[in-house]
């Protein structure tokens, strides 16, 4: 039962609008405030003074609103409950939730799970960070599961959120500009399981940072590459042999596949249906996506790599190539790029730094490999094509895209347009975002 009488929706993007539609149906009094919107009157507030905040007994924040926000800190000091849209969506969700989080691989796992369930005859919907907010779940009928991609931003203000199956794929430094420390970031990710008990399942990446800090002894736990693993070329789950690795069409993202298999085995899918689902899945756009070959150079689009950990994974998955030119840059998220440079394998022969934090990255490269500076992505791609001989040009920026683009998807599409123009020898000046 929803007990709140006066609700503030803080952040009026798609998550705020989804919350609003539910509140209207509930006939609950609400107001809307957004830092980037100055509408006043009706449901909209152009300002949010302290005397206005204390009128509410609940504030629902969008992922863009940090718990460190001064207005949010004040509201909490006054005893006002602040919850994320994820928490709100959970409160109205009538279906079991499979929640996936981690530094990298979340979207791939969520979409692969959705596809495998669909192909096996289940009725599911992927929501959360992957697309529609969880609060949109109310418009879908008779689902078997809601599959939710969960970001650290969404986990900041959760209190009752409890997935039937929670998946924490991996952990590495990310979003430190928001969460301040790696410890805070790790605790948020592990918070996915804080309300879970022996009726719930935790699928965990086999990392010491995760396992050493996971302290829920009641939840049923599956550890990747331990309980679900590859043994002598055979995929095994809890000592059951499922199928040979050679039966998989593509095992580039094997850790992600093991996570998906773990979830599907928990639910009870037959091995044949699991294999069929994985083998009929088409990979995600902007995630280590083959673009084209121009002359003797092969182009890959990994624009979704917005942190160093993801970039390292991408380069390692292309280790079959002995000559890689790596495109790094964009908007920094307070990363230490020295760690990234140190972990790059020797097949990275060139690095082209572009975008807002290009100079910061360039300084870290030192004598590791040949390095170049370019202002923007277009000039970086053109230069990369000139200096690379019979190799791979990989866009895996390790940075956010907001210095030049609206998001990683726009950056990836722009990259692919540049590659197409290079192949067709057309005028690069005509390419726009």
pLDDT digits (tens, 9 = 90+) for 360-387: 999 999 888 999 999 999 999 999 999 9
Q: What is the pLDDT of residues 402-422, one digit of tens each?
A: 999 999 999 999 999 999 999
Please state, rounded to an integer, the average pLDDT across all residues of the chain: 94
Prediction pTM value: 0.81
Closest-CA residue to 371 (of 357, 353, 389, 387): 353
Q: What is the pLDDT of residues 191-226, one digit of tens each?
A: 999 999 999 999 999 999 999 999 999 999 999 999
CA 376 to chain centre: 24
Q: What is the pLDDT of residues 3-32, one digit of tens each?
A: 999 999 999 999 999 999 999 999 999 999
Which position has the token pair 């290009």? 358
CA 118 to chain centre: 22
Is it the case that residue 431 has pLDDT exceeding 70? Answer: no
Mean pLDDT value of segment 154-171: 96
What pLDDT is recorded for position 177? 79
What pLDDT is recorded for position 392? 97
Q: What is the pLDDT of residues 67-111, one digit of tens each?
A: 999 999 999 999 999 999 999 999 999 999 999 999 989 999 999
What pLDDT is recorded for position 41? 86
What pLDDT is recorded for position 174? 77
Check if the beta carbon of residue 231 is closer than 8 Å to that of residue 243.
no
pLDDT band at 429 (very low <50, low <70, confident <90, very high): low
Closest-CA residue to 139 (of 179, 95, 175, 182): 95
Burial label, 276 (beta-carbon count in 10 A; 0-12, 13-18, 19+): middle
DSSP string, 218-269: SSEEEEBTTTEEEETTEEEETTEEEEEGGGSS--TTHHHHHHHHHHHHHHT-
What pLDDT is recorded for position 252? 75
Cα–Cα distance for residue pair 80/35, rounded to 1 Å: 20
Is it the case that residue 2 has pLDDT exceeding 70? Answer: yes
CA 152 to chain centre: 9
What pLDDT is recorded for position 163? 98
More confident residue, 204 or 317: 204
């Amino acid at each position: 039962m929803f007990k709140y009488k006066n609700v503030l929706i803080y952040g009026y993007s798609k998550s705020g609008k989804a919350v609003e539609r539910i509140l209207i149906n509930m006939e609950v009094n609400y107001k809307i405030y957004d830092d980037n919107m100055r509408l006043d009157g009706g449901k909209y507030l152009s300002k949010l003074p302290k005397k206005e905040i204390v009128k509410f007994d609940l504030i629902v924040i969008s992922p863009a609103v940090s718990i460190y926000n001064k207005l949010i800190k004040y509201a909490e000091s006054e005893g006002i409950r602040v919850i994320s849209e994820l928490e709100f969506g959970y409160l109205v969700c009538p279906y079991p939730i499979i929640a996936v989080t981690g530094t990298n691989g979340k979207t791939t796992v969520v979409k692969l799970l959705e596809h495998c369930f669909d192909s096996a005859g289940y009725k599911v919907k992927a929501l959360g960070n992957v697309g529609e907010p969880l609060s949109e779940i109310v418009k879908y009928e008779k689902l078997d599961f809601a599959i939710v991609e969960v970001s650290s931003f969404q986990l900041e203000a959760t209190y009752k959120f409890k997935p039937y199956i929670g998946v924490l794929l991996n952990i590495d430094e990310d979003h430190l500009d928001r969460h301040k420390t790696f410890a805070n970031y790790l605790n948020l990710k592990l918070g996915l399981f804080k309300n879970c008990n022996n009726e719930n399942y935790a699928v965990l990446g086999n990392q010491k940072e995760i396992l050493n800090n996971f302290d829920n002894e009641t939840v049923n736990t599956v550890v990747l590459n331990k309980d679900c693993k590859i043994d002598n070329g055979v995929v095994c789950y809890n000592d059951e042999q499922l199928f040979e690795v050679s039966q998989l069409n593509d095992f580039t993202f094997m850790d992600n596949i093991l996570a998906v298999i773990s979830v599907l085995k928990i639910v009870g899918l037959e091995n044949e249906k699991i294999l069929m689902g994985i083998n009929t899945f088409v990979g995600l756009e902007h995630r280590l996506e083959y673009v084209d070959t121009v002359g003797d150079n092969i182009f890959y689009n990994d624009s979704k790599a917005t942190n160093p950990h993801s970039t390292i994974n991408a380069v390692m998955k292309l280790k079959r190539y002995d000559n890689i030119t790596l495109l790094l840059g964009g908007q920094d998220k307070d990363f230490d790029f020295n760690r990234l440079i140190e972990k790059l394998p020797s097949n990275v022969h060139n690095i082209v730094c572009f975008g807002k934090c290009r100079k910061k990255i360039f300084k870290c490269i030192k004598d590791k490999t040949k390095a170049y500076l370019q202002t923007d992505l277009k000039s970086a791609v053109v230069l990369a094509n000139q200096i690379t001989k019979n190799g791979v040009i990989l866009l895996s920026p390790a940075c956010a895209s907001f210095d030049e683009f609206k998001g990683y998807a726009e950056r990836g599409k722009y990259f692919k347009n540049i590659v197409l123009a290079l192949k067709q020898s057309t005028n690069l000046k005509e390419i726009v975002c």
